[in-house]
A = this chain, B = another copy of it.
Amino acid sequence: MTDKILLAHGSGGTLSRDIVNNSLISVLGNSILNILDDSAVFTANGKIAFTTDSHVVQPIFFPGGDIGKLSVCGTINDLSVMGATPLYLSLALIIEEGFPTKDLDTIIDSVRKAADEAGVKIVTGDTKVVNRGNADKIFINTAGIGIIPEELSVSGHNAKPGNKVILSGTIGDHGIAVLSKREGIAFDTELESDCAPLNKLVADMMLVSSKINCMRDPTRGGLATTLNEIAEQSGVSIRIDEEKIPVRREVAAACEMLGFDPLYIANEGKLVAVVEAEDAEAILMQMKKNKYGHNAAIIGTIEEKYAGRVVMKTTLGTSRIVGMLVGEPLPRIC
């Protein structure tokens, strides 16, 4: 391989074959991917979850992860919050001409590690190269397929009055970690992105309860936007308690300094679950045993009044309406 990616690596010809063999198959290879037909082929039966996300994060390397890890975790989490067991991922790269081959290798290694941790396989892919200046370094799309147990119905439409809202941990870590790297902001202690695959956390939760009505991962738009989506889709209101929402000291400080609200900052390793009240404590206890759920907390309750709204009791004791994100304070955060 050359030390920089060339246009010809996206030609479909001999250099495309080289990049596929040397940088992709050699690291990600498995019995399905290695066939290299025009589609991957596997057997699956039942309720299938299917999702896609493109990742354009800038910078591509950030504390706690990189665009490779993010691309795998993002899609795994979108499957997991549907109650699906993620099985197979596609990986499609758009690379800017001149991109360092060693950076590509680092990213593909991160893809492999995240996929291995989650127990998913990369089974199909695509590589395009565009002329210098026509993309910013590398963009990665993953699509994913998972299987949902037949009896399960987890959806943003299923939140019901009386249900409890559980958040799996601290908010804002990903957004502030990426921003700190991008803007060169230093903290006393290094803040890392929470980027992580949540499928095993979800599996743990489902072990102790079948009464999980809704899950979602609060990525772009943050916790506030995710809760608003659920409130809107389910036609309910959500009352949350600011005091209960875990926020790291560094994230709170950075938000204070920069004028951001952690409720709107992206997370990449967190989920919100709306569960029947009777099982809430048992689910919470189980989540706390998982490394991605140590700081989980019950942060609120589903209510009937003010359908479509999210209302927060602030630390000062007042109540305020928490809307969806408006505008775009942090472009290219994922």
Contact = CB atoms under 8 A, between A and B. Distances in A.
A41 B39 CA distance: 20
Given A51-B38, A135-B135, A56 B328 contact: no
Question: Quick one: copies of this chain in the complex?
Answer: 2
Interface of A: 6-8, 10-17, 35-56, 58, 77-79, 81-82, 84, 88, 90-94, 123-126, 128-131, 133-136, 139, 141, 143-146, 148, 155-157, 216-217, 219-222, 225, 229, 233, 264, 266, 323-328, 331-332
A49 B123 CA distance: 10
Contacts of A12: 219-222, 225, 266, 325
A264 B6 CA distance: 18
A40 to B, nearest CB: 5
Contacts of A7: 328, 331
B146 A92 contact: no
B124 A17 contact: no
B326 A13 contact: yes
A141 B49 CA distance: 18
Contacts of A10: 220, 328, 331
Nearest to A74: B126
7 contacts: A12-B221, A13-B221, A35-B157, A38-B156, A41-B48, A52-B124, A130-B136
A5 to B, nearest CB: 11
Given A38-B81, A50-B123, A92-B52, A324 B44 contact: no
Given A47-B41, A135-B136, A146-B39, A328 B13 contact: yes
Nearest to A152: B41
Given A8-B327, A11-B221, 13 more contacts: A11-B325, A13-B221, A37-B156, A38-B79, A38-B156, A40-B50, A50-B123, A50-B143, A53-B92, A54-B126, A54-B141, A56-B94, A133-B133
A10 to B, nearest CB: 7
B45 A40 contact: no
Nearest to A125: B52
Nearest to A145: B50
B38 A124 contact: no
Contacts of A42: 47-48, 50
B13 A325 contact: yes
Nearest to A264: B13
A52 B126 contact: yes
B56 A143 contact: no
Contacts of A49: 39-41
Given A37-B156, A143-B90, A332 B56 contact: no
A88 to B, nearest CB: 6
A19 B222 CA distance: 18
Contacts of A133: 133
Contacts of A41: 47-50, 82, 148
A217 B37 CA distance: 11
Contact of A36 (B38, B53, B58, B156): B156
